[in-house]
Amino acid sequence: MAGFTVHFKKPDDWADSVHIHFWNVEGQAASDWPGAPMRAEGEGWFAFEFAAPAAHFVFNDGQGRQSGDQHREREGWYGIDGRWHDSRAKAVWQARKAHPKPKPAPTLEPRPVSERSDFREETIYFLLTTRFYDGDPSNNFYCRDRIKFNAAGEPEDPHWRGDFKGLIERLDYIKDLGFTAIWITPPVENRSGLDYHGYHAYDWTRIDPRLESPGATYQDLIDAAHARGIKIIQDVVVNHSCQYGIRGKVHIDHLPIKYYVSQGSEPGRVEHGPYQGSLGNYAWPNRDDIDNPLAPDWYRERHERDPEGIEPLVDPKTGETVPKPGYNPGRFFGIDCHDLDPDWYHQEGFICGGDWESAHPLQHKHLAGDCIDLATTRQNVKDYLVGSINRYLDMGVDALRIDTVKHIERDNLLEYVNAWKAHKPGLFVFGENLVKGYGWGDMGGGDNGPSQIRPWWYTRLGHDPRDPASGGDSGFPQLDFGLFSTFRDTVSKGTYGGTAQIFSMDWIYGDVTQLVTFLQNHDVGPDNDFKYRFKGEQWMAAAAYNLIWTVRGIPCLYYGEEIEFMKGAPQDVEGEKDTLDQTGRAYFGDYLSDEALPRTQAHPLYQHIKRLNQIRRAVPALQKAPVTQLSEWGGGMSFVRDYPEGSSYAVVGLAIGGDQQVNVDGVRPGLYRDAVTGQEIHSGGSLSFQVKANSAGIYVLDGPGKVGVDGLYLR
């Protein structure tokens, strides 16, 4: 029986030995991977003799690099151009003549902020400013709820701890991690019993002084970030104010909190950490909570004196005299919605029960006792909020994230979004519409809420809840809670199985490539209750990030994920006596000190995310292209990212839990280089490659080759 010999030119980045794995060889059993060793012929050539008339085979180095599938019936030389030749000389000549040289290694530095107008080029680092890094202890502040005390009974871990000075000092940490945009929680002045996170706005025109320091104002932060190529995303609350109204615009009736005396206590006897004698703001000489010039005369008069809240005050609503132990706490902390000013607030009560899945109550009732629903259709409300945020856009804020989107009717909310875009053309604005499920609304998928409160609705302009195509793109992308919700049953269990279903509905969004993707945030994580920081195995998180960074959308990381910070902890205070240090909102700065920083940056997930950012920045298709030809089989996924406008084309294979063989047909012919391993494959229309467990294969047509340094997962 006649045989033949095949010759193979080893690429420079392959291991020193080469194997040939074969099958469908007459009279010979298929080899076990990685196959038989090939005989070295010198000058990087290797040979193998078949004693059969034909064979199927693949060349590989046994360490993750391999050719595509081959079939041969006669002698030939396989050159580094990925083609067969009739002689070694011809293979060498053709390689020199036609083999495309790798593109120059991509720069790992982002272009200047002013040159980046498409936000899909960015990746986002999300942080609670007050919990990130403390640069100025003098502006620390304890909220009056959930104070942590040490064994000696002394308060510690102030809620307002991180600040702009600390963030400026650690911008290089975020830059080294590879992020090009920072989303900060609302920085405007707040008032509440627990207002450290910024979602209880009191004055939208003023930055909260507990965040600023001399030489570290909000403007200083914006300028320092831009100098490092980092954009600033400001979180904006449109839906509600705090329970005290809005300074200079509207007042909500309360008794001053400094007159509050709990049952069984006496005036001036409060012992609650820094709140000694009164629950009023301990940092103000007058010990009050607000300074609203629209408060009644009697309120403003007491604001200026009686700091301890001891002098008798008659409640103008009931005639009762305070301070009085146990007096109705609602007069200090509660809201009577019927007494609210209708020019500024809705008056339909508080959300409860079935209201959470019904559009009208969701959008006209109050979210909580310290989140009072604004009458967002009123022109005075629009003028105030739009004008206030315009000031920050003028300061250089690059993008906006809108809170509690589903609590505002879409067309009404788009008036705000479009006004900010008109003020700053090209502005990127995205929203938060929390849903625990696919979020397909009236189109099915087990959804128990209408389309009008679902994320896809806000990305469209049409008015048919069963036909997304009835209207075009609204230009208002959302956080991708649909994809996030699948992680509970997929990556949190070590599988990609089921993710194809969510991607099959990408067509419902106005522009799916602008959705903001994530694994967890300050409210939710991918567990059975959506309440905890990710508590799965580290390799599961790595595989999740591989998916988020290579699939459509803009990746977003919540502070601390890069080191599994507070793994398994509730995202927010849960138990009655929980303090922030027990939650996912714990203070992160201890990991960012000069002494701790090297250990933090050596964490496998830190290095993993850093490299994912480098790879995504080097491949425009990963930034801007939709997903096509998607296939998932539990242990793996494959898909194509085709971005013709940027002449960028990538074939992606992912593996979770174990090594995977990836085969993708119907791709463009040409030479592909893997951004992870550097392996080269010449494709005539299909690609076949192996991916190690919890790693990725990112084969880019005429791509730059290997980007970054191998780590524990990407290798």
* pLDDT value at 108 more than 70: no
**Residue 86 belongs to a domain with what CATH number?**
2.60.40.10
37, 67, 98 — which closes off a domain?
A: 98
Give the other-Cβ count within 10 Å of 274's Cβ. 14
pLDDT more than 90, % of the chain:
87
Listed residue (538, 531, 501) closest to 711, CA to CA: 538
- Does 390 map to a domain? no
42 part of a folded domain = yes
Of 297, 315, 334, at which residue does a domain stop?
Answer: 334
Is 241 inside a domain boundary? no
The one-letter amino acid code at 583 reads T
Q: Which two tokens stand for residue 347?
A: 């008056």
Neighbouring C-beta atoms of residue 183, cutoff 10 Å = 24
Tally the residues of the chain. 715
**Mean pLDDT value across residues 483-500:** 95
With respect to residue 85, please indicate whether it lies within any of the assigned structural domains. yes
Integer Cα distance of 255 and 676 in angstroms: 63
DSSP structure class, residue 211 = T
**Domain, as residue range, for 670:** 622-701
**CB 299, CB 259: distance < 8 Å:** no
Contact (CB, 8 A) for 441 and 456: yes
Query: Average pLDDT, whole number, for the chain?
Result: 94
Contact, 325 vs 354, CB < 8 A? no
Per-residue pLDDT, averaged over 615-628, amounts to 97
Query: According to DSSP H, which parts of 260-402 are helical?
Result: 297-303, 330-333, 359-364, 379-395
Amino acid identity for residue 337 in this structure: C
Would 453 be classed as within a structural domain? no
How many domains does the chain divide into? 3
515 contacts 508 by C-beta, under 8 angstroms: no
- CATH label of the domain that carries residue 659: 2.60.40.1180
What mean pLDDT comes out for the span 449-477? 97
Please provide residue 148's backbone torsions phi and psi, each rounded to the nearest 5 degrees: -90, 130
Q: What is the 3-state secondary structure (H, E, C) of 574-585?
A: CCCCCCHHHCCC
The one-character DSSP state at 570 is B
The DSSP code sequence of 486-509 is: HTTTTGGGT--TTHHHHHTTGGGS
Is it the case that residue 21 has pLDDT exceeding 60? yes
C-alpha span between 289 and 162 (Å, rounded): 21
Q: Which tens digits make up the pLDDT trace of 533-571?
A: 999 999 999 999 999 999 999 999 999 999 999 999 999
* Burial class for 602, CB neighbours closer than 10 Å (0-12, 13-18, 19+): exposed
**CB-based contact 517:691 (threshold 8 Å):** no
Residue 567's Cβ-count burial label (10 Å; 0-12, 13-18, 19+) is middle
Q: Residue 146: how many CA atoms within 13 Å on its side-chain side?
A: 23
User: Is 101 a residue whose pLDDT tops 60?
Assistant: no
> Tell me, what's the pLDDT at 98?
47
Q: Is residue 641 part of a domain?
A: yes
User: Residue 146 domain-assigned?
Assistant: no
Residue 82: pLDDT above 90? no
Residue 595 in any domain: the answer is no
Of the residues 74, 98, 122, the one at which a domain ends: 98
Contact 679, 673 (CB under 8 A): yes
